[in-house]
Structure 1
Amino acid sequence: MDKTYATTADAVADIGDGASVAVGGFGLCGIPSALIDALHAQGAASLQVVSNNCGTDDHGLGILLGASRIARVTGSYVGENKEFAHQYLTGELEVELVPQGTLAERLRAGGCGIPAFYTPAGVGTPLADGGIPWRHHADGTVAVASPAKETRIFGGREFVLEEGIVCDFALVRAARGDRHGNLVFDMSARNFNPLAAMAGRVAIAEVEELVEPGMLRPEDIHLPGVFVQRVVALTAQQAADKYIEKRTVTA
């Protein structure tokens, strides 16, 4: 039952080229930065990433993106990363944009073994009708466009069918975790982390504080260890490395 790994490098060693990876975090809040750094050092390329966004140019998934190690992104926001926009518009990166709530539910559904579900989000738009550019040619023309999705009427209202997401791996960050993989997230860092972990066949968690089994009260656990396969305790420096996208001050 002891799921701990000695280092982040050990934990991500078997993530290969072309692997699909769900990554927790929202902006730079709650991102598994140490695991991302280890994956960057490890060298895996052509990654298929599922994450709310792709970090910034200097932090988070933006590090992998800047090294041209990501081939495809499924996410809901791209506004903080100029390199993301550049690679998408020049055909280097395939991008599937998904409404944020739909993305969250697709991850949760995949983790729960639900293959698909109906939602009203996107009905009557190109999200349901198809035609959204996923990948461009180098000259800016569309190389791959989104397909039309199945719709159905329930109670007189139209809904669109969305598929659950399951990835080969998941990378998440938690404030506390035990050796069995039970995790506790701190405030808004809870965001996409539990859902990403659920969607990964192999979920890898970096924890700021590692505790022994039984030290976490069952009612305090946000994600049970059944969804987590690997746990890495961060060093004090790694735990302290947290970045802010935009600092706002008042006079």
Structure 2
Amino acid sequence: MKSKVITALEAAALIPDNAIVTVSSASALGCPDATLAGIGAHFATTGHPKNLTMLHPIAAGDMYGVKGIDHIARPGLLGKILAGSYPSGPSSSEPPEIWKMIGANAIPAYNIPSGILFDMHREAAAKRPGVITKVGLDTFADPDRQGCAMNDAAAAEPVVEKIQFRGEEWLFFPSVIPNVAIIRATTADERGNLTFEHEGAYLGPMDQALSVRNNGGIVIAQVKRITEAGTLKPLDVHVPGILVDHIVVAPDQWQTCQTPYEPAISGEIFRPMSSFEVPAFDIAKVIARRVALELHQGWAVNIGFGISANVPRILIEEGRHGDVTWMIEQGAVGGVPLLDFQFGCASNAEAIVPSPHQFVYFQGGGFDCSLLSFLQIDQSGSVNVSRLAARPHVTAGAGGFVDITARARRIVFSGYFNAGAKFSIEDGAVAIEKEGKVKKLVPEVEHVSFSGRRAIQQGQDVTYVTERCVMKLTPEGVMVTEIAPGFDLERDILGQSEFPLLVAKDLKTSPARLYQPGLIGLKLDRVVHG
């Protein structure tokens, strides 16, 4: 049996000029970084492969040690990129090379919702023409807005069109047929069968490998180790060797961002609940507590980055862990979603499913609620999380946000009313020590990641929780329904919004217990999938 093992440089030499290359990764989670580095190094010495089109359904690399796409972000090597999101970092840092290329209009760059990008792979694998979907209507993915284009070079080469089908309006994303797949696992046997026992998620390597194999391309798998053929249990194999052409061994691949390896992330051990830190008492914790009041026992709840990521810790602190089942787009179901550099992973998960399956669940609205953040809210109730012109590399793009919110029954957005404000909490009331300079409630958001207009049409239940107030999306506009103690309605809320806010006739005051350091006695009503 001929060995499938090759070096990263040998893998790079197999990639033809002008190839379309799909990469399985979510930031540093599952990133085949050594193989991507080999492509960059091979190009530096030979000038090949040239003019690659890169497909990244979630993202590849970060700004904290795993370069990912930045290995390839070089003039002549990278010709085009379609990604669910991009590496991001603090505004004070040097932008990643990929953002420099996007900003300079050096390549066409697109932000395609992650679930749709996975769908495009499945359609390419089955040799179907493309994806017809309502996900993305009236958002930046809609051709009536940016059509997923991130710069002028992309706007000149559309990747989506609006069509009429059976009397309804749909978006059509033509299939993109990849020639090369670069995926990652933990172990490969000599035949190329892949297991994922040290990974924090499967992501979508099976779909990506199928799309390449069925169209005559090559599949390269990066792994930590090789084992003898026939020694892997068949139910543990998630990508069969018949789909894998070559194997690159990289023993030092990180499990996820800033994490070489933690067995609780891959479900090999369960952490004691006492090992999870709970948030310190501050204004962010108050917001997370208020978000928690929106939940019901028995719900399946998607959770995103930002303040809402702390809500599971509120439930742990209050002894309510297990009242809801958390889900994240990378594939974890249940357990405790992790924070900061490990975001996208969970400890103590009940299951880890492939990301494409998770996105089908989200796109169809099968879950009960989503907890997400916002950068901007506008007068139609639309939300921007994906692009700020003043700080492009700080915003990573939408990822799965559009897929998740397209048909979600309930959405709770959380964040600060103004950016940069400073607060203190004394005697159960909040005081503004320094008002924020950047208004987040604006007449029109810069980038529509979530459409308030479609939410009204579809009857979605949308709530916005900030440190000052709670707001609801109504057919008449955004309405303040609850005010936090210590804030003046006119001065601190209505006067700080750049569009007129409605005020509920029965305006409530937020529960006083949220503003005290001790436990709040959280109890969630029992409502199963209601």
> Is the aligned partner of 1:183 residue 2:194?
yes
Whose Rg is larger?
2
Superposition deviation, residue 112 in structure 1? 3.4
Structure 2 residues without counterparts, runs of 5 or longer: 44-48, 90-94, 260-339, 343-530
Residue in 2 that maps onto 1:65: 73
Q: d(CA) in 1 for partners of 2:29 and 2:136?
A: 27
Contact 1:128 / 1:148 at 8 angstroms: preserved in 2? yes
Residue in 1 that maps onto 2:59: 53
Contact 2:80 / 2:108 at 8 angstroms: preserved in 1? yes
User: Could you say what secondary structure the match of 1:65 adopts?
Assistant: coil
Question: How has the CA–CA distance of structure 1 residues 86 and 239 changed in structure 2, closer, same or farther, with 3 Å as cutoff?
Answer: closer
Residue in 2 that maps onto 1:15: 15
Instruction: Please list the CA deviations of residues 16-39 of structure 1 after superposition, one character each: whole Å capped at 9, or x if unmatched.
Output: 332211111101111111111111
Contact 1:3 / 1:229 at 8 angstroms: preserved in 2? no
Superposition deviation, residue 8 in structure 1? 2.1
Instruction: Please list the CA deviations of residues 30-84 of structure 1 after superposition, one character each: whole Å capped at 9, or x if unmatched.
Output: 1111111111111133221001224235611112215763221111112516333
Q: d(CA) in 2 for partners of 1:206 and 1:147?
A: 30
Match of 1:231 among 243, 247, 252: 247
Q: d(CA) in 2 for partners of 1:223 and 1:80?
A: 30
Match of 2:135 among 97, 100, 121: 121
Match of 2:176 among 147, 152, 165: 165
User: Could you say what secondary structure the match of 2:73 adopts?
Assistant: helix
Question: How has the CA–CA distance of structure 1 residues 171 and 3 changed in structure 2, closer, same or farther, with 3 Å as cutoff?
Answer: farther
Contact 2:139 / 2:145 at 8 angstroms: preserved in 1? no
AA in 2 matched with 1:11: A
Q: d(CA) in 1 for partners of 2:3 and 2:21?
A: 19
Superposition deviation, residue 157 in structure 1? 5.5
Contact 1:130 / 1:148 at 8 angstroms: preserved in 2? no
Q: d(CA) in 2 for partners of 1:181 and 1:227?
A: 8
Contact 1:151 / 1:158 at 8 angstroms: preserved in 2? yes
User: Could you say what secondary structure the match of 2:224 adopts?
Assistant: strand
User: Could you say what secondary structure the match of 1:223 adopts?
Assistant: coil
Give the alignment's TM-score, normalised by structure 2.
Answer: 0.41
AA in 2 matched with 1:220: D
AA in 2 matched with 1:218: P
AA in 2 matched with 1:63: H
User: Could you say what secondary structure the match of 1:196 adopts?
Assistant: helix
How many residue pairs match? The answer is 241
Superposition deviation, residue 99 in structure 1? 0.9
Match of 2:204 among 192, 197, 203: 192
Q: d(CA) in 2 for partners of 1:26 and 1:240?
A: 12
Q: d(CA) in 1 for partners of 2:245 and 2:24?
A: 15
> Is the aligned partner of 1:212 residue 2:223?
no
Q: d(CA) in 2 for partners of 1:79 and 1:210?
A: 30
Contact 1:175 / 1:207 at 8 angstroms: preserved in 2? yes
Superposition deviation, residue 153 in structure 1? 3.9
Question: Which structure is higher in RCO with an 8 Å CA cutoff and minimum separation 6?
Answer: 1
Q: What CA RMSD, in Å, does the superposition of the two structures yield over aligned residues?
A: 2.9
Contact 2:31 / 2:60 at 8 angstroms: preserved in 1? no
Residue in 2 that maps onto 1:80: 88
User: Could you say what secondary structure the match of 1:71 adopts?
Assistant: strand
Q: d(CA) in 2 for partners of 1:195 and 1:163?
A: 17
AA in 1 matched with 2:7: T
Q: d(CA) in 1 for partners of 2:159 and 2:341?
A: 39
Q: d(CA) in 2 for partners of 1:104 and 1:191?
A: 10
AA in 1 matched with 2:193: N
Residue in 2 that maps onto 1:5: 5
Contact 1:70 / 1:93 at 8 angstroms: preserved in 2? yes
Superposition deviation, residue 164 in structure 1? 2.8
Question: How has the CA–CA distance of structure 1 residues 90 and 11 changed in structure 2, closer, same or farther, with 3 Å as cutoff?
Answer: closer
User: Could you say what secondary structure the match of 1:122 adopts?
Assistant: coil
Q: d(CA) in 1 for partners of 2:115 and 2:228?
A: 34
Contact 2:219 / 2:243 at 8 angstroms: preserved in 1? yes
Superposition deviation, residue 216 in structure 1? 1.5
AA in 2 matched with 1:50: L
**Identity of matched residues, %:** 21
Q: d(CA) in 1 for partners of 2:115 and 2:160?
A: 20
Contact 1:106 / 1:165 at 8 angstroms: preserved in 2? yes
Kindly report which structure 2 residues correspond to 1:21-36, keeping only aligned pairs within 5 A, or say none: 21-36=21-36
User: Could you say what secondary structure the match of 1:11 adopts?
Assistant: helix
Question: How has the CA–CA distance of structure 1 residues 130 and 178 changed in structure 2, closer, same or farther, with 3 Å as cutoff?
Answer: farther
User: Could you say what secondary structure the match of 1:55 adopts?
Assistant: coil
Superposition deviation, residue 207 in structure 1? 1.4
**Structure with the bigger percentage of strand:** 1
Q: d(CA) in 2 for partners of 1:134 and 1:71?
A: 14
Superposition deviation, residue 190 in structure 1? 1.2
Contact 2:82 / 2:111 at 8 angstroms: preserved in 1? yes
Give the alignment's TM-score, normalised by structure 1.
Answer: 0.81
AA in 2 matched with 1:76: G
Q: d(CA) in 1 for partners of 2:202 and 2:233?
A: 17
User: Could you say what secondary structure the match of 2:223 adopts?
Assistant: strand
